[in-house]
Amino acid sequence: MSLIITDASRTAKAAQDDADPEARQELARLTRYLAILEDNKKASRFVPDDAALALDMAGFVRNRLRGGRAAPGSPLARLALALVQTSPDAPAQ
């Protein structure tokens, strides 16, 4: 048996692939599903720290206060720091 690949064998294989569009759709669905699983796997490894949570909260508060417009006067990092810092007279939680 010969393992030589000729143009005729490539053409026959390409015709077989084109002949079954249902199999191609199934392969496309499986590929998308595997990509989603990989993204979820990467996302589950992310552990947010206090700084990331504070920046997220600051962005949310800024958007709520400004109605979705960017706040020109207060940088996001300063707002995040204000949300995380505790004052001496604040009650313990």
More confident residue, 25 or 63: 25
Angle CA(12)–CA(33)–CA(47) in degrees, nearest 5?
145
Where in the chain are the domains? 50-84
Q: Are 19 and 11 spatial neighbours (Cβ–Cβ below 8 Å)?
A: no
Percent of the chain with pLDDT over 70: 45
Instruction: Collapse the DSSP code of 85 into the 3-class scheme (helix H, G, I; strand E, B; otherwise coil) and give the result.
Output: coil
Asked if the model's pLDDT at residue 31 lies above 70, the reply is yes
Asked if the model's pLDDT at residue 1 lies above 70, the reply is no
- Distances in whole angstroms, Cα of residue 33 to Cα of each of 10, 41, 69: 29, 12, 36
How many other CB atoms are found less than 10 A from the CB of residue 82? 12
Digit-coded pLDDT (tens) for 33-74: 888 888 888 777 766 677 777 777 777 777 767 665 555 566
Query: What's the Rg (C-alpha) of the chain?
Result: 28
Average pLDDT along the chain: 71
State the Cα–Cα distance between residues 77 and 57, nearest whole angstrom. 11
Task: Give the amino acid at 40.
Answer: N
